[in-house]
């Protein structure tokens, strides 16, 4: 699965009160490659007089803050980054927020995030879980092109109620934490679902005792 996919690869840039969409191609990126590609995309079709550059701390004599500094050579007005739900983690900015350059610069407010996913969600109509059909949350890994192996170590404490289907056919979806479908780019996914009937002997004994007590009264 890619870090940047078709559901999170755009942002809006406003220059001289004119808005345009900046798109980063789908794929995996480091902060170095992302800076290079984004800088090119920002300068492509930019309004006349707007020239962008992106830097980050990389000298051994300077502490690494994990943030970008965006610079723009312009006279006026200052450009704006309008960030929705795409690219905000890689930019180090908050989603659904508009940022206006001050003094021709803008610095990330958060540390850049280049992990592909922090958590995956397996969703299925085989279960019922507070009306969201989430079967399980899966902790992800950050190595590009690697395989994720996961085993639920506590099935008893994380079980979901089984939903019986007359057709015995169930749908499964692998989603990210924003409920976007994960594109595995042609690679397979395999998983095993454990079903069991809970032993109700304890409940039967409890009901028997209650009935016995009532009869004795």
14: β partners: 19, 80
pLDDT (tens digit, 9 = 90+) per residue, 112-139? 998 877 788 999 999 987 778 899 988 8
Same domain, 93 and 142: no
Asked whether residue 105 carries a pLDDT value surpassing 90, the answer given is: yes
Show the domain range for 82.
10-107
3-state SS assignment for residue 69? strand
| Residues 30-73: tens digit of each pLDDT | 999 999 999 999 999 999 999 999 999 876 667 889 999 999 99
Task: Evaluate the omega torsion of the peptide bond into residue 82 and state whether it is cis, within 30 degrees of 0.
Answer: no
Residues 73 and 123 in one domain: no
What is the per-residue pLDDT for 90? 95
Name the token pair of 200: 């109700």
Question: What percent of the chain clears pLDDT 70, i.e. is strictly above it?
Answer: 97
Residue 3 domain-assigned?
no
126, 29: one domain: no
pTM, full prediction: 0.77
CA distance 200 to 203: 5
34 & 127 share domain: no
pLDDT score recorded for residue 59:
65
Quick one: 100 and 120 in the same domain? no
Give the Cα separation of 173 and 184 in Å (integer). 12
In this structure, the answer to whether residues 146 and 68 fall within a common structural domain is no
SS3 at position 128 = strand
Average pLDDT over residues 5-15: 93
Q: Looking at residue 164, what is its pLDDT?
A: 85
Structurally, how many domains does the chain consist of?
2
Q: What is the pLDDT of residue 68?
A: 96
Q: Are residues 203 and 131 part of one domain?
A: yes
Return the pLDDT at 168: 85
Decide: residue 70, CB within 10 A, 0-12 exposed, 13-18 middle, 19+ buried.
buried
Inside any domain, residue 86? yes
* Nearby residues of 173 by Cβ (< 8 Å), 6 or more positions away: 122, 123, 124, 181
Sheet (strand 51-56) strand order: 51-56, 68-73, 105-107
Residue 172 pLDDT exceeds 70? yes
Which one, of 68, 82, 75, lies nearest residue 104 by Cα? 75
- Quote the pLDDT of residue 142: 64
Q: Which residue has the higher pLDDT, 76 or 146?
A: 76
């Amino acid at each position: 699965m890619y870090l940047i996919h078709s559901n999170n690869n755009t942002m809006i840039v406003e220059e001289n009160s004119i808005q345009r969409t900046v798109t980063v191609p789908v794929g995996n990126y480091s902060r170095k490659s992302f800076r290079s590609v984004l800088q090119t995309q920002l300068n492509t079709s930019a309004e006349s007089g707007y020239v962008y550059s992106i830097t980050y701390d990389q000298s051994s004599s300077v502490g690494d803050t994990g943030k970008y500094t965006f610079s723009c050579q312009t006279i006026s007005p200052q450009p704006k980054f309008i960030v929705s739900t795409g690219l905000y983690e890689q930019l180090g900015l908050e989603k659904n927020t508009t940022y206006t350059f001050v003094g021709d610069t803008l610095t990330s407010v958060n540390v850049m995030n280049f992990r592909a996913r922090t958590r995956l969600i397996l969703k299925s109509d085989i279960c019922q879980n507070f009306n969201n059909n989430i079967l399980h949350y899966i902790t992800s890994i950050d190595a590009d092109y690697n395989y994720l192996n996961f085993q639920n170590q506590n099935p008893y404490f994380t079980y979901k109620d089984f939903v019986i289907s007359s057709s015995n056919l169930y749908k499964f979806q692998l989603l990210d934490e924003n409920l976007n479908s994960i594109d595995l780019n042609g690679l397979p996914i395999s998983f095993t679902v454990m079903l069991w009937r809970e032993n109700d002997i304890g409940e039967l004994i409890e009901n028997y005792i209650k009935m016995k007590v009532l009869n004795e009264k």
